[in-house]
Each structure stands twice: as C-alpha cells, then as structure tokens.
Chains A and B, each alone.
Chain A
Amino acid sequence: MAGKDPMAFGLSVLNKVAASETLDKLGLRKFTERAIHQSTKSGFQAAGAMQRTFKKVSGGGQGNRPTSNKPTGVFDLTPTEDQQMMVEVISEFASAVLRPGAEEAEKVDDTPKEVLAQTGEFGLSLINIPEELGGLSQERSSVTGVLVAEALAEGDMGQAVACLAPSAVGTAISLWGTEAQQQTYLADFAGENVPAAALVVNEPQAMFDPFALQTTAKKSDSGYVLNGLKSGAVRASEAELFVIAADVEGRGPSMIIVEANTEGVSVAADPSMGLRAAGLSRIQLTDVQVGEDAILGSVDDYRSMIRLSRLGWAALALGTAKSVLDYVKDYVVTREAFGEPIAYRQAVAFTVADMAIELEGMRLVTLKAASRADRGDDFAREGALARRLSTEYGMKIGTDGVQLLGGHGFVKEHPVERWYRDLRAVGVMEGAVLV
C-alpha cells in the first residue's frame, strides 16, 4: 500500500470485496453452522475454546493515541469525502449481505463466520485504529463510527453488532491502553484474522447502572480477583478476549482486560428478545485472577467508554429506524383498504410523518454528540440526549412500523417485527459497541 492513503487502501479492498461473487453466494447460501451456539445453550461452559495466545508485552508507558479533529467553526451537515465513500461501500455490504442474511442469522442465533471474516477483510475494526498501530484511520472519528454503525444497522442490527463487537475492544485498547497493552493485543485487531472479542458492561439487574457495578475486582497479591455475573456479551462463546466492566477495589468502575481462556471465566448463551444474530451471552466470573496490568484506562476513561458506546447504540437505532421508515413508506402506498391505499388516510400518513420527524431529530443530535467527541469537547449532555431520543423514538418507530402493517407486521413474513425487537435493545444495552 505504499504511496496510497491508508484509508483509500482500505476502501479499495472493501470495494473489491463488496463486488465479489462471495457476497452473492453469501446472500443466498444456506449456511451450515446451525449448531454454533447449541453447545452453550445448555448452561455455562468454559470460555475461550479457540483461544489464540496473545504474546504479553510488559511496560507501563502511555500508548499511542489517535488525534482529534481540528474544529472548522462552520455549521455543516456534509460528511467528508472519506466518510461518504465509506458509507457507500458499507451500505452496499449491508444491503447485499446483512439484510438478505438476517432471517437466517436469527434462526441460528449467530452471525455467519464468513460475514464476520469479510468485515475483517475490509478492515471494519481498523477504522478506529490509527496507522501507527497498524490501523487505517489517520484521524479517528466518532462521526465516522456513527455513520458506519448506522449503515450496518440499516442492513441488520443483530449482525451489525456482531461485526462491530471486536472493533469495540480494539478501539478501547487503542484509545485507553498502555503501550504494553497495545503491543500485546492490537496487532491481532489490525490483522486479517480479527479475534472475536466483546466489550461487556451489562449485568442482569433491573435498573442497571453502569456506574454502580455489582461485579467486583478485589486486590490480590498478584493483581485482582474478579467475581460477578455479566450480561449482554456479544458472541461470548466465540470470544478470545473480553474487556469487562467491574468495580475495582479502591478505584471504582473500570475496564479490565480478561482473556477468555482465563480460569474461572464461563459463558452461557442468553437468547433475548432481539439482536439474535449478536449471540448475546452471560459471563460468569468466579475468582478470576488477572494481573495488575489488566486494568484498562482510568475511571474517567471508563466514563468516556460508556458515553461513546451509548452513541454507538444511538447510531444503530438510526439505521434500523430508517429501515422501518423506508419499508413502511412502501407498504402504506401499496396496501389498499376501503378501495384506496391506506396512505391516503391521515391517521396513517401522519404516523409516517412523525416517524420521519423524530428520526431526523435523533440523527442530528447523535451527530452533534459525535462531532463534539471528535473535537475533544465534552459531549456528556448531547450523548445523553441522543440516547434518550434513540431509546424513545427508535422504539416508537419500531412499534408504529408494526402497527401500520397491522397483522402483517406481527408475522415473520415481513422484517418489521424483527426490527421492533432489535430496537428495544437501544437504551437497554451498555458497552458492546464503540464509536
């Protein structure tokens, strides 16, 4: 790739992949790995079966940090050329691969390895890792992350989450890791065979608060001992690496790097209302021993992670909500009742109008938060507002979508009921994705 802009290089690969025959095959293929999660459905099993060995590098120096974008001072809603190009290609992938494969992926509660491999090939997890660390993005950008997540989720939210999960771990280590942590793990995330990995924050408790964690990391002679039950772990049975949220003794809520094959880590499938293709799981941590150097970033970094991850979920809601809106728009002008298209009725048409209004509103707030993050400005407020809007109106769009299709919305002949189930994840999920 000498002489070529790394981003452009990644995109040209991406473009080639998107146009290749494998995609066509994938779209139609009956894939054979129906049993992927069967093994873990029966209860907790030791994790990290297919574990690679991450070669430990030691040292406490600060890692490389992506640079933030320079402010222009001009109100502008135009994505950069790089962003436009990337969204175009990812949209193509989403509509050619993710959307047609969504039903099948749901049935097996997982995302096909071929699909994940492709996102590895075209460097989805590289987008947020700077060039010096083997990544593709010269300037990390949350706005780009939002646009990418949105485009993927327009295909299928469940598979989008599965595709983005390793990237969340890579991004976290890239943003907050020490030099040693980066050296130990990032090369693999920048390679072709990206390890399955998950950023795990949720715990199975009502009114879960990521700043009041039940999972603990208590000091021991050699580091920390982890105990607790986590949920919302993406494809945990396949994962080789976790970044896990725990309350660290004398420190507060923090991220901890846990290799999946560490003793005491077990996973169980946790099939949920939606996001089936993300293979959601629980992780039981029983006296899990990790070193001092397993702690990733500061308590403040943990807070940043929570905020960026919420933006990621807001972005996913944008994509799925757009799918609903587009689908419903087509449906109401063709479906007839009382001798005319139902779209001729204000009750129907106004519902569609409201979907579009709220979608645009939540999109702009999400982008504002992301662009503030890119400039290094505080975005706690905008991020919280984006989460509020995407939780409420994302779901409203989902439920109105089913409503407008009536009984047809309730059956699996149409994808709207799946979008409805997926959209409920927004506002529930913490962690898992990062932009």
Chain B
Amino acid sequence: MINLETPKKFNAFVQQAHDVANEFLRANSRKYDLAEHSYPKELDLLASLIDGMNESGTGSGAGAAGVRVDEDKKGKSGVKNGSNMSSVLSVIEMCWGDVGLLLSMPRQGLGNSAIASVATDEQLERFKGTWASMAITEPSFGSDSAAIKTTATKDGDHYVLNGEKIFVTAGDRSDSVVVWATLDKELGRAAVKSFVVPKSLPGIRVERLEHKLGIRASDTAVIVLDNCRVPAENLLGSPEIDTAKGFAGAMATFDNTRPLVAGMAVGCARASLDTMRELIEQAGFVIDYDRPAAVQPHVVATFLQMEADWEAALLLTLEAAWMADNRQANSLQASMAKAKAGRSGNQITLKCVELAGSIGYSENEFLEKWARDSKILDIFEGTQQIQQLIIARRLLGLNSSQLK
C-alpha cells in the first residue's frame, strides 16, 4: 500500500538523530567552520555513542556504513524498510546539523560505505571498526574515473600501489583509505579495482589539506601512494579483470552512496528552509498552503516553490533507498535523487540567503554557511552533469560512446 511517510519504526530513531544533530553538530558548527583543519574532538564521544547504539541494535547507523543489505525481517506486506532507509534518514538529520561534521564522523566515512557495499563477509569482519575514506579523484581527472593513473601491480601476495589522489574526504583523519587503482591501464574500466589501504602502512602519506568554500569542518586531503604494499586480500570485489562486466563492480558502490549524498543535500537544505520559515513568520507573513501563490507575498510564493523542490528531492532520495532495501536495481533512481537533491539543495540555500538579505549573508546566522556547504553536494559522488549523463543513457538506451 502506497505510503511515503517516514517508517513508523524509525520515528524514535530519527528524533534521536535530530537531537544529536542539534546538540553535537549544530552546536559546534560555526566553531569548526572558522577553525578549518582543527580536529572536532567532540565527535569522538559521539562516535562511540553511535557505535554503542549500533551494537545494542537500537541504532541503525548514523552515517554511510549502514548500507549493507541484511537479511533482516520484512514488514507484514513483504516490503522492507531497512538499513538503506535508516542510513539516509539519519544522514538527513545529521546534515540538518552540519554536513562537514557528519563527513568527519569517525568510522562513518564514504570508504566505509564502499566496504559495506562490496566487501565479502570475511573482509567486513576484518575491516570492522576502521574509519575509511574514499580516494578516487586524481589531479588529471575528476568525473572520468576510467582515466585512473594510480597503478596496482601484483607482487606475490601483495599489490604495490603508486599514484596521487586528491579530494579525499576525511583523508587525514581516517585510518584507512579505499583507493581506486588500475591493474592494467591498457584494459580500461574493467581493470579498475578498489583497495582498502590502512594508513599505518609504509608508502601512504597525506601530502596536504585543501582550504575550501564550505564543509570546512571536514578535512579534504591529497594522498600520495609511493610503492605502498597492500595485502592482496584487501582488494574489494573480484581480482579478475572482467572486460564484459567493465566498470560495473566498482560503480555499484555509487548506487548506495548517491542516495546518502542526496540525503546530505536534503538535510542541509531543510536547515535553511527551517530558518527561513522562522524569518518569514517573524516578519509577519503567513505561509498559506491553500491560497494560490499568485495572491500571496513573493517571499511566501518563493518559499512554497523551494519547499516543493525540497519535498521532491526528499522523496526521490527515500525512493532510491527503499529500492535498495527491497533489492530492486536503483541506479537510475539513485542518480535522479542525487541530481534533484544536489541542485535543489544548492538553489534553496542560495535563495534563502538572498531572501534573508544581510542577515542571511552574515556569519551571525548559518544561512551563508549552508549556502557554501551545499555546493559540494552537487559535485562529489558524481556531479550534476554526470548524473544527467547516467540518467539519459539509461532512459534512451545509449552507451557511453554514443552519448558522451
């Protein structure tokens, strides 16, 4: 039966996440926006709290690590609301608090999500408790992840990794990095594999940290791999180069992570909308859902428009997560969610600054910060344009040499 509300069984958990976001993230938001690169030590306590919740079964993952499809109980109708849904709901609440701090949450990195998505049970057990960041981008490419230059050369029971990775979120603070590298440049996409590289290994180092437009609480690192020997069993997925399957294995991670990033955009934009609603009401305007927008003040009509886009983004995000929980192929919906949430989140947060005027522009309020934070969410884990490419290729039945 069609129902698009937050699942009843997650209501308490969502409220909990919201409280945490308010007390820990929002409360420290400006502090770490101003103090870029300083470690948000408040999060250590929070992370162990969340670990405890997860172990006791009362939590459902505060971040990216919860996207593995488990065989937990299905609902009465056979429809499942599982860990993909709860992770997305949690991320939305956390990013209502602060996107940068969510990205700095120990043991909840995007690398953890990659591990959760594709690791074997043995690997999952072995990498339990690690804080994994994700390293795909290199200086010479961004979206074109088939152009990877970092190499992985088999040497006995190790792979030797060489190359330079940029834009590694939490690359400094994490204790391992999921590195994408090619086994054979000649073989293209199919030869791209991901490796869990513990930072305790010799040959991997953080070169420098970026100074950024937003999400300053989150460190963005340049990582250099210099003859870094990684145990062969740290390769995620199959070591075989299957040219027929191509990139599919490595890209499967994105089906799980894109809804999460969409959720980040949804959470961040809701923060702006909540504040904007207060400002509109303080100014004496009434947001009336029944009267036509054309006869309401412009600020109210604009607010309704933003809220409409936001709601569409939210539901597309939940749809993608719901499909993953119910084992339906969701690449198309994951990209739709990411595209809609990424661009709407950015438009909404920017428009709120405009509507709020100098109050919105000033550091006295968070609106300007959310308008800076939101931009990255339309870029990382696949830019707006990459999502559109993916969607269009699927809809039109075209391949990457036809629709470039």
Q: B8: which of A73, A78, A357 is its contact (CB, 8 Å)? A: A73
Residue B279 at the chain A interface, CB threshold 8 Å: no
Closest to B384 in A: A350
Interface residues of B in 262-316 (CB under 8 A from A): 289-295, 304-305, 307-309, 311-313, 315-316
Closest 8 CB pairs of A and B: A361-B312, A73-B8, A349-B392, A364-B315, A384-B289, A368-B4, A388-B308, A353-B391
Residue B366 at the chain A interface, CB threshold 8 Å: no
Contact with A along B1-24 (1 / 0, CB 8 A): 111111111000000000000000
Closest to A389 in B: B308
Asked, given contacts A77-B319, A346-B389, A353-B388, whether A365 binds B311 with beta carbons under 8 Å apart, the answer is: yes
Residue B45 at the chain A interface, CB threshold 8 Å: no
Min CB gap B153→A, angstroms: 36
Q: A367 touching B2 by the CB < 8 A rule?
A: yes
A: number of interface residues (CB 8 Å): 58
A191 to B245, CA, bound (A): 59
Closest to A307 in B: B290
A73 to B3, CA, bound (A): 8
Q: Which residues of B have CB within 8 Å of A388?
A: 293, 304-305, 308
Residue A132 at the chain B interface, CB threshold 8 Å: no
Q: B339 touching A353 by the CB < 8 A rule?
A: yes
Asked, given contacts A78-B79, A343-B398, A389-B308, whether A380 binds B385 with beta carbons under 8 Å apart, the answer is: no
Given A77-B319, A343-B396, A392-B305: 6 more A-B contacts, CB < 8 Å: A73-B3, A76-B75, A207-B292, A344-B402, A364-B312, A364-B319
Q: B315 touching A361 by the CB < 8 A rule?
A: yes
Q: Which residues of B have CB within 8 Å of A210?
A: 292
Q: Which residues of A have CB within 8 Å of B291?
A: 209, 211
Contact with B along A378-395 (1 / 0, CB 8 A): 001111111011001000
Residue B349 at the chain A interface, CB threshold 8 Å: no
A208 to B388, CA, bound (A): 37
Q: A74 touching B312 by the CB < 8 A rule?
A: no
Q: B294 touching A75 by the CB < 8 A rule?
A: no
A364 to B291, CA, bound (A): 22
A388 to B311, CA, bound (A): 11
Q: Which residues of B have CB within 8 Å of A223?
A: none
Min CB gap A245→B, angstroms: 13
A244 to B345, CA, bound (A): 41
Q: A73 touching B7 by the CB < 8 A rule?
A: yes
Q: A74 touching B4 by the CB < 8 A rule?
A: no
Residue B56 at the chain A interface, CB threshold 8 Å: no
Q: A350: which of B309, B318, B322, B392 is its contact (CB, 8 Å)? A: B392
Closest to A367 in B: B2
Q: B79 touching A208 by the CB < 8 A rule?
A: no
Q: Which residues of A have CB within 8 Å of B316?
A: 357, 360-361, 364
Q: B293 touching A333 by the CB < 8 A rule?
A: no
Q: B1 touching A72 by the CB < 8 A rule?
A: yes
Q: Which residues of A have CB within 8 Å of B319?
A: 77, 360, 364
Asked, given contacts A72-B1, A344-B398, whether A207 binds B8 with beta carbons under 8 Å apart, the answer is: no
Closest to B339 in A: A357
Chain A CB within 10 Å — which of B85, B319, B387 has the most?
B319
Interface residues of A in 293-344 (CB under 8 A from B): 303, 306-307, 329, 332-333, 341, 343-344
Q: A74: which of B79, B304, B305, B393 is its contact (CB, 8 Å)? A: B79
Q: B311: which of A333, A357, A385 is its contact (CB, 8 Å)? A: A385
Q: B7 touching A75 by the CB < 8 A rule?
A: yes
Contact with B along A75-88 (1 / 0, CB 8 A): 11111100100000
Q: B396: which of A307, A332, A370, A375 is its contact (CB, 8 Å)? A: A332
Q: Which residues of B have CB within 8 Å of A365?
A: 308, 311-312, 315
Residue A186 at the chain B interface, CB threshold 8 Å: no
Residue B126 at the chain A interface, CB threshold 8 Å: no
Asked, given contacts A361-B312, A361-B315, whether A75 binds B289 with beta carbons under 8 Å apart, the answer is: no
Q: B304 touching A352 by the CB < 8 A rule?
A: no
Residue A356 at the chain B interface, CB threshold 8 Å: yes
Q: Which residues of A have CB within 8 Å of B340?
A: 357-358, 361
Q: A71 touching B3 by the CB < 8 A rule?
A: yes
A364 to B307, CA, bound (A): 14
Q: B403 touching A74 by the CB < 8 A rule?
A: no
Chain B CB within 10 Å — which of A75, A78, A372 has the most?
A75
Q: Which residues of B have CB within 8 Å of A367?
A: 2, 4
Q: A357 touching B336 by the CB < 8 A rule?
A: yes
Asked, given contacts A211-B291, A381-B289, whether A79 binds B305 with beta carbons under 8 Å apart, the answer is: no
Asked, given contacts A349-B396, A350-B392, whether A78 binds B308 with beta carbons under 8 Å apart, the answer is: no
Closest to A345 in B: B403
A53 to B318, CA, bound (A): 52
Closest to B390 in A: A353
